[in-house]
Amino acid sequence: MLHCTRCQLSYLPSKSTSALKLTYCSFLCELGDLGFSMVGLEHMERAKKPEQPPTPEPEPVAAAE
């Protein structure tokens, strides 16, 4: 039997709900230890940046004499 990296409980890999069956006993231990799940990471999409209009360049200021 294996021991979960997060909670140290013994478990059978065939009963694990984690994508990393040889490391975590459940999806919740995987999520709690990594901060994300492997399944969620696989389905993640990159967010598009909103288009911003170009910023106008400042006008030169004449020096006072």
What string of DSSP letters covers 5-60?
TTT--EE-GGG--SSSTTT-SSHHHHHHHHSS-HHHHHT--PPPPPP-PPPPPPPP
Q: What are the residue ranges spanned by the domains of the chain?
A: 2-40
**Confidence at residue 50, expressed as pLDDT on a 0 to 100 scale:** 83
**Confidence at residue 65, expressed as pLDDT on a 0 to 100 scale:** 64
Select the more confidently predicted residue: 57 or 2: 2
Query: Whole-model pTM?
Result: 0.62
Run of H or E residues at 3: strand 2-3
Q: What are the two backbone dihedrals, phi and then psi, of residue 46, each rounded to the nearest 5 degrees?
A: -75, 130
**Confidence at residue 62, expressed as pLDDT on a 0 to 100 scale:** 78
* Model pLDDT for residues 11-63, shown as the tens digit of each residue: 999 999 999 999 999 999 999 998 888 888 888 887 788 887 777 788 888 77
